[in-house]
Structure 1
Amino acid sequence: MSVERINPAELSPATGFSHAVVATGSRLVFLAGQTALDGAGKVVGETLPEQFETALANLLSALAAAGGAPADLARVTVYAVDVAAYRVHAGELGRIWRRLAGRDYPAMAVVGAVRLWDEAALVELDGVAILP
């Protein structure tokens, strides 16, 4: 498997994401949206950073169960019920990402959502990974 992250000089600097990811491999893993649900199915964490950390950990757990690692992520979409709050906490969310997933950023997008499936959820992450 190889993953090549492409960040063209003529685009704005990629901070916390890659503009494009070229991936080759033999297994494509589609990761379902993950919120801050604990093992009992209850949303945990009251703040956006707390919920982001749990949602990312859940996404990475699903990826690991499929045989992948954070560097295998080619695409992640973040759904936030409050994009302004996401921007305010961007630095802290970036530190959480780097601690759990490292610095090999996938192509990413943040999408504002009116609400998520679990009404108490503030953020949800889904993704696509390429495994060897």
Structure 2
Amino acid sequence: MSLERVNPDGLAPAAGFSHAVTATGGRLVFLAGQTALDAEGRITGATLPEQFRRALGGLLAALRACGGGPERLARVTVYAVDVADYRAHAAELGRIWRELAGRDYPAMAVVGVVRLWDETALVELDGIAVLPD
């Protein structure tokens, strides 16, 4: 099973994401959206970076429970209630990503949304991973 990150010439430099990821062999894992919920179902963290750390941690915990690590992520979508705030914290969010998930970036998108399921959630992440058979 292999993942190949593809960043072709002629596209904007891929910083903190890959333009495409191909996967051969293996099994797909579809990771549900994760927010900053704690074990009791309460949103934790008042700031976007705090909530991003918790949400990414939850996504990676679900992936680990399936037998994979962050290097197996092929696709992640970030849903943000305030894209301007996300952009303003981009450097810090990048540091959090590298700390928790490393530098093997999946194909990613950030989508601005009006709100999330929990009204106090600022960010949600979902993903697709490919694990060896």
TM range (shorter): over 0.9
Matched residue, 1:100: 100
What code does the residue aligned with 1:82 have?
A: D
Counterparts of 1:79 and 1:43 in 2: how far apart (Å)? Answer: 15
Q: In the TM superposition, what is the alpha-carbon distance from 1:25 to its structure 2 partner?
A: 2.6
- Secondary structure in 1 aligned to 2:56? helix
Q: In the TM superposition, what is the alpha-carbon distance from 1:24 to its structure 2 partner?
A: 1.6
- Equivalent pairs counted in the alignment come to 132
Matched residue, 2:40: 40
TM-score normalised by the chain length of structure 2: 0.98
Runs of 5+ in structure 2 lacking a partner? none
- Secondary structure in 1 aligned to 2:64? helix
Counterparts of 2:21 and 2:36 in 1: how far apart (Å)? Answer: 27
- Secondary structure in 2 aligned to 1:3? strand
Counterparts of 1:38 and 1:23 in 2: how far apart (Å)? Answer: 32
- Secondary structure in 2 aligned to 1:95? helix
What code does the residue aligned with 1:7 have?
A: N
* Residue pairs, 1:72-87, within 5 angstroms: 72-87=72-87
Pair 1:90-2:90 in alignment = yes
What code does the residue aligned with 1:34 have?
A: Q
Runs of 5+ in structure 1 lacking a partner? none
Matched residue, 1:7: 7
Counterparts of 2:76 and 2:52 in 1: how far apart (Å)? Answer: 13
* Residue pairs, 1:20-39, within 5 angstroms: 20-39=20-39
Matched residue, 2:61: 61
What code does the residue aligned with 1:26 have?
A: G
TM-score normalised by the chain length of structure 1: 0.99
CA RMSD of aligned residues (A): 0.5
Counterparts of 1:36 and 1:24 in 2: how far apart (Å)? Answer: 32
Counterparts of 1:111 and 1:96 in 2: how far apart (Å)? Answer: 19
What code does the residue aligned with 1:59 have?
A: L
Matched residue, 2:49: 49
Matched residue, 1:120: 120
What code does the residue aligned with 2:64 have?
A: A
Counterparts of 2:99 and 2:24 in 1: how far apart (Å)? Answer: 26
Q: % of aligned pairs identical?
A: 76
